[in-house]
Amino acid sequence: MGESIRTPQQKRSIDKKNRIIEAGYELFARDGYFNTNTAQIAKHAGVSTGIVYGYFRDKRDILLEVLSIYVDKAFTPIMEIFDNLKTPLDFESLLSTIIDSTIEIHRNNASIHEALHSLTSSDEAVGNKFLELEKDMTINIVDTLKAVGYAPDDLYERVHLAMEMIQSYAHECVYDLHDYIDYDKMRTSIIKVLLSLFTD
Amino acid sequence: MGESIRTPQQKRSIDKKNRIIEAGYELFARDGYFNTNTAQIAKHAGVSTGIVYGYFRDKRDILLEVLSIYVDKAFTPIMEIFDNLKTPLDFESLLSTIIDSTIEIHRNNASIHEALHSLTSSDEAVGNKFLELEKDMTINIVDTLKAVGYAPDDLYERVHLAMEMIQSYAHECVYDLHDYIDYDKMRTSIIKVLLSLFTD
Amino acid sequence: MGESIRTPQQKRSIDKKNRIIEAGYELFARDGYFNTNTAQIAKHAGVSTGIVYGYFRDKRDILLEVLSIYVDKAFTPIMEIFDNLKTPLDFESLLSTIIDSTIEIHRNNASIHEALHSLTSSDEAVGNKFLELEKDMTINIVDTLKAVGYAPDDLYERVHLAMEMIQSYAHECVYDLHDYIDYDKMRTSIIKVLLSLFTD
Amino acid sequence: MGESIRTPQQKRSIDKKNRIIEAGYELFARDGYFNTNTAQIAKHAGVSTGIVYGYFRDKRDILLEVLSIYVDKAFTPIMEIFDNLKTPLDFESLLSTIIDSTIEIHRNNASIHEALHSLTSSDEAVGNKFLELEKDMTINIVDTLKAVGYAPDDLYERVHLAMEMIQSYAHECVYDLHDYIDYDKMRTSIIKVLLSLFTD
DNA sequence: AATGAATGAGACTTCATTCAT
DNA sequence: CATGAATGAAGTCTCATTCAT
């Protein structure tokens, strides 16, 4: 009855908890959440099955921690770009920076993104976390743009749209999914389109 | 090892196979692939558990058929628009038609789309089918546009990009995910952007 | 989700369900509920672990069925004595018959009684079933006695008391627990006491 | 295999051992033996899990100590009544005193009694301890009665019987189990019956 | 071709006990 | 003596698939 999930204080324990999260991260990314079992996570982390339940309520709890870490990884680099924004705005170079960064994020995290995002439909908390991520990014970007004096009426919509385009481009780019697509040409198209989007 | 997955010839059997696929479709859409078991599918289809394995190699085989049907449903309406394309091209009204149609498709199939698409990362065949769908649509649209005399250098890229934007818009629109987004305003933005994309 | 617990219709299946109950009965009686696991029950019944969950919701559900059967076994013989009650009442021979019958019941079911009764404190449903058993017996006996014209003011109390004495005597008698007790002498004492109880 | 269950000498250690027993007592009473785990006991006692095995061989060993304490609690008050017995015997008031005392014991210890007694069937040592308790009480009472000059032939049987009736009455009385029973009326019946039992 | 009972591997989780510190 | 993290065997239950009828 409400027996305690360990909140590790000591260095060794923190390492162990992190090793479990790391193992979850890797296995979920490689095989997906449903194709990974707790025994595999424990083994991959080099711990016993039992201790997993010392640090996590259940398997899903590991998922949530993995998700949390992923969200940070995905969020931070883009936000840093906006934190260091220089005026006057040079949209074209800003876009280029963002696209590069997004591609880089995808390159490093594509598998886990897929594995986690695929749970959106069957796990509400996961879905909400992704929504929250999108929302936070959009609002942050909108606020930053407003702060530098760019404030058209439909800014939320434009930013959101731009983010989705860039993300979906980065995703395809990393996986090089379609042989009929020249991703460099596509990049040019996207930048052109986005410039037109942010130009009244 | 007498492999003997039935290819049903008689009317009753065809019905039965289709009923199973239909049941899979509905249950996967409602509960997701991993939360649906074969007994439920059989029951929902009004057949015995055993006979499911008369028509399908395994559970995944049902998935593949469901996927096939979904792909048709998603593909056909858009293709019909292009089959009936009238010259001279009126891009703006064409876009509007496509957006409406895509939203309509999403409205009717959002759940199954999510359920199936979430398997993309863990099941290669599913992933490939989605890629194929995108490819077929892109190529088809490109061919049609070329046939009516619209043939810029980077047409594949533009079409692909446009498709993704529209799909992602339709998805969000149907689920109404973000309270900070005004989906009508967004629609206006998208149309504007896409017009600029297809205008040299 | 509410997948169905089989209610077996066919002869073979009924046998199988009963074999599982029987196995539960024997193992619970021998080793106790907590020291018996589902695998053992399945093995003892000669079935697979899986099918146990085809017939029963969970392990406790087996317990409840075992309990139900035990209650019938314990209830029926005593009730039959009262169904065949002859007037005028000969209390002494009636008591003797009841005591013999109760001892007989205990001889055949002492272990399962202990195993089940020991769950009274940790499982409310089990506790209630035992209460119900006592209540039913008491009320039935009271009604029968009233029907033959024996109706003192505190009949419920007297009957209940008598039942408990007889049961506790039968229990000890069967186990021959105390070497310092002569169970024949004790029987005489009990009969004497009970006669005085039912004599105004 | 240096067996080394500590027999604590120092004051602090004795406290610690007692605190563990006390914790076991409370948790077994509240949740039952099988629903209590050693971590809970340790936590409740304010000690570490590990040290529990410094003072006790295993979980069952705690049980045995708890049982021992319970037996004392249940035994002592009744024995005191007999230690202070005054001649000439006034059976009626003696009975009344004993019944009150037994009810009081039950009121304070009903939960732990249930929890421990329920183990009778699956743990021989526990069973024997309860038998021993009954035996000690019976013999003690018999000896005391003989000492004051009451020595019928079947005294053991009568005393044992009386004890059981009173205990079972006290149990029901405390739990107020049966709505069809008036426990005051029942008390009168019992006293009447017991008087007749001890009157030749 | 059809049924649905049956199988059994394997998933998740708990907990008495041990052990490094 | 003491800690509490760690172990891993064992328990409950699920479900894709098979098989007797």
* Shared domain check, B73 and B25: no
Whether the CB of B37 is less than 7 Å away from nucleic strand F comes out as yes
Inform me whether the pLDDT recorded for C118 exceeds 70.
yes
D33 in the same domain as D81 = no
- Confidence check: pLDDT of C161 > 80: yes
Looking at residues A48-57, what average pLDDT do you find? Answer: 96
Q: Which residues contact A11 (CB under 8 A, 6 or more apart)?
A: none
Whole-number pLDDT of residue C1: 40
Reported as a single tens digit per residue, the pLDDT across A170-193 is 988 998 778 899 999 999 989 988
Amino acid at D3: E
Q: Let me know whether B42 and B72 are in one domain.
A: no
Highest average pLDDT, of A192-196, C46-50, C191-195, comes from C46-50
Asked whether residue D117 falls in the same domain as residue D186, the answer is yes
Same domain, A169 and A127: yes
The dihedral sign for the CA sequence A141, A147, A148, A151: positive
Q: Quick one: tokens of A103? A: 């591609």
CA pair distance B50, B38, nearest whole angstrom? 10
| Closest by Cα among B112, B113, B84, B109 to B98 | B84
With CB atoms and an 8 Å threshold, state whether B161 touches A186: yes
- Rounded distance, CA C44 to CA C19, Å? 9
Mean pLDDT, to the nearest integer, of A10-25? 84
Q: What percent of chain D has pLDDT over 90?
A: 72
Count how many domains chain D has: 2
How distant is C1' of F4 from CA of D67, in Å? 28
Q: List bases in chain E with any atom under 7 Å of a protein Cβ.
A: 1-20
Q: How does residue C199 score in pLDDT terms, banded at 50, 70 and 90?
A: confident
C176 pLDDT band, cuts 50/70/90, is confident
Domain boundary among A22, A39, A57: A57
Angle between helices D155-175 and D124-147 (to 10 degrees): 120
> Do the chains contact at D157 and C111, CB–CB below 8 Å?
no
Backbone φ and ψ of B6, nearest 5°: -65, 135
CA distance, residue C86 to nearest chain D CA (Å):
26
- Give burial (CB, 10 Å; 0-12/13-18/19+) of A151: exposed
Query: How many Å does it take to go from CA D51 to C1' F1?
Result: 8
Decide: C28 and C116 in contact? Cβ < 8 Å: yes
C57, C90, C105 - which closes a domain? C57
In this prediction, residue D2 has a pLDDT band, given cuts at 50, 70 and 90, of very low
Per-residue pLDDT tens over the stretch A70-93: 999 999 999 999 999 888 889 999
Averaged pLDDT, A15-38: 94
From chain D, which residues contact C within 8 Å (Cβ)?
31-32, 34-35, 111, 114-115, 117-122, 131, 134-135, 138-139, 153-154, 156-158, 160-161, 164-165, 168-169, 177-178, 180-182, 185-186, 188-190, 192-194, 196-197
- Determine the nucleotide nearest to B43 by Cα–C1' distance: E4
pLDDT at C20 over 70: yes
For chains A and B, CB pairs below 8 A equal 117
With tokens 């939960």, the residue in question is: D111
What is the Cα–Cα distance from A49 to D185, expressed in whole angstroms?
Answer: 59
Question: Which residues from C are below 8 Å from D when comparing CB atoms?
Answer: 31-32, 34-35, 111, 114-115, 117-122, 131, 134-135, 138-139, 153-154, 156-158, 160-161, 164-165, 168-169, 177-178, 180-182, 185-186, 188-190, 192-194, 196-197
pLDDT at D72: 94
Out of B16-20, C33-37, D136-140, D174-178, least confident range: D174-178
Cβ–Cβ below 8 Å for A197 and B197: no
**Residue C161 to residue D193, Cβ atoms within 8 A:** yes
User: To which residue do tokens 């066919």 refer?
Assistant: C10
Token code pair at residue A68: 């949390």
Cα dihedral across residues B14, B19, B20, B21: positive or negative: positive
Q: Is the peptide bond before C8 cis (omega within 30 degrees of 0)?
A: no
- Same domain for D192 and D103, yes or no, is yes
State the pLDDT at residue C85: 86
Residues B50 and B23 in one domain: yes
Candidates B21, B119, B139; CA nearest to B78 is B139
Quick one: C162 and C115 in the same domain?
Answer: yes
Quote the pTM value: 0.88
Q: What domain range includes position D87?
A: 63-198
Which residue, of A19, A34, A57, is where some domain finishes? A57
A77 plus A162 within the same structural domain? yes
**Rounded to whole angstroms, what are the CA distances from C117 to B151, D65, D118, D128?**
86, 24, 7, 18
Same domain assignment for residues D46 and D141: no
Query: Is C104 found in the same domain as C36?
Result: no
Nearest alpha carbon to residue C121 among D32, A163, D140, B157: D32
Distance measured from the CA of protein residue A11 to the C1' of nucleotide E7, in angstroms: 47
Query: D78: domain CATH number?
Result: 1.10.357.10
Pairwise CA distance, residues D45 & D28, whole Å: 13
pLDDT attached to residue D3: 52
pLDDT confidence tier of residue B1, bands split at 50, 70 and 90: very low
pLDDT bin (cut points 50, 70, 90) of residue C159 is very high
Which pLDDT band holds residue A10 (cuts at 50, 70, 90)? low
The three-state DSSP-derived secondary structure of A96-113 is: HHHHHHHHHHHHHHHHHH
C89 CA → E2 C1’, Å: 64
Angle, to 10 degrees, between the axis of helix A59-83 and the axis of helix A91-117?
180
CATH number of the domain residue A51 falls in: 1.10.10.60
Q: Which residues contact B98 (CB under 8 A, 6 or more apart)?
A: B78, B81, B166
C→B interface, C-beta within 8 Å: 1, 3
- A126 CA from E11 C1′ (Å): 22
Report CA-CA distances (Å) from D74 to B52, B165, D97, D127, D130.
65, 79, 15, 16, 11
The verdict on A72 and A148 lying in the same domain is yes
**CB atoms A121 and B32 under 8 Å:** yes
The full DSSP string for A129-178 is: HHHHHHHHHHHHHHHHHHHTT---TTHHHHHHHHHHHHHHHHHHHHHT--
Cα–Cα distance, C126 to C66 (Å, whole number):
11
Nearest to D37, CA basis, from A2, C133, A31: A2
Closest residue by Cα to residue B127 from B63, B34, B58, B37:
B63
Instruction: Give residue ranges of B with CB < 8 Å to any C CB.
Output: 39-40
pLDDT of residue D7: 65
Q: Give pLDDT tens digits for B94-150.
A: 999 999 999 999 999 999 999 999 898 888 999 999 999 999 999 999 999 999 889
> Please, are residues A165 and B165 in contact by the beta-carbon 8 Å criterion?
yes
Q: Binning pLDDT at 50, 70 and 90, where does residue A2 land?
A: very low
Q: Which two tokens stand for residue B81?
A: 């628009």
Identity (one letter) of the amino acid at A59?
Answer: K
Predicted confidence (pLDDT) per residue in D171-193, tens digit:
989 988 888 999 999 999 899 88
Q: B37 with B89: CB under 8 angstroms? A: no
Is C72's pLDDT higher than 60? yes
- Between C177 and C53, residue with greater pLDDT: C53
Q: Taking residues C83-99, report their average pLDDT.
A: 90
Q: What distance in Å separates the CA atoms of residue A23 and residue A39, rounded to the nearest whole number?
A: 11
> In the structure encoding, which two tokens stand for residue D20, read together?
């563990």
The answer to whether D119 and D126 are in contact (CB under 8 A) is yes
